[in-house]
């Protein structure tokens, strides 16, 4: 049974896409800790981060860095943080999160956004991709 993230990669479930290459995919988290909260995932379906083969692990970090730089340029924030948890979706993902205060890192505070806002945020991050 494919994960919800594999269904997003395959276009079976909609998302606000940020970027994609042969091996990785980035899209906005639907329940964000902060405006611009993005998930970076390998297309390869693996549950736990430490079970990724080393090239995929390193590639995911490089891809997440690129996305993080675009977020930093697009979203005013104190800094961009990265977190890996995976207790909800069993498909490796790096949370790339604009941080204003510690509350954005806790996964307790959530932003409620309209579809139009998600679209505009995705456009603004995509515009800063190099």
Active site residues: 93
**1 belongs to the binding site for ligand 5GP (CB under 6 A):** no
Q: In 10 A of CB 91, how many CB atoms?
A: 22
Closest CB to ligand 5GP among residues 66, 93? 93
Site string for ligand 5GP, 86-105 (x = CB under 6 A): xxxx---x------------
**31 belongs to the binding site for ligand 5GP (CB under 6 A):** yes
Minimum CB distance to ligand 5GP, residue 112 (Å) = 12
Tokens of 8: 């997003």
Minimum CB distance to ligand 5GP, residue 37 (Å) = 7
Confirm if 80 and 14 have CB atoms less than 8 A apart.
no
Q: In 10 A of CB 105, how many CB atoms?
A: 16
Minimum CB distance to ligand 5GP, residue 91 (Å) = 8
Confirm if 9 and 41 have CB atoms less than 8 A apart.
yes
**15 belongs to the binding site for ligand 5GP (CB under 6 A):** yes
For ligand 5GP, the binding residues (CB under 6 A) are 4, 13, 15, 27-31, 39, 85-89, 93
């Amino acid at each position: 049974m494919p994960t919800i993230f594999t269904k997003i990669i395959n276009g079976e479930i909609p998302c606000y896409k940020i970027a994609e290459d042969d091996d990785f995919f980035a899209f906005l988290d639907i329940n964000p800790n902060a405006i611009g909260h993005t998930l970076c995932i390998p297309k390869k379906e693996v549950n736990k981060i430490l079970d990724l083969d080393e090239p995929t692990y390193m590639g995911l970090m490089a891809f997440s860095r690129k996305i993080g730089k675009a977020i930093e340029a697009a979203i005013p924030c104190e800094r961009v943080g990265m977190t890996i948890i995976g207790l909800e979706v069993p498909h490796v993902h790096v949370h790339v999160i604009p941080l204003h205060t510690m509350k954005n890192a806790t996964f307790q505070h959530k932003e409620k956004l309209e579809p139009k806002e998600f679209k505009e945020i995705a456009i603004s991050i995509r515009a800063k991709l190099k």
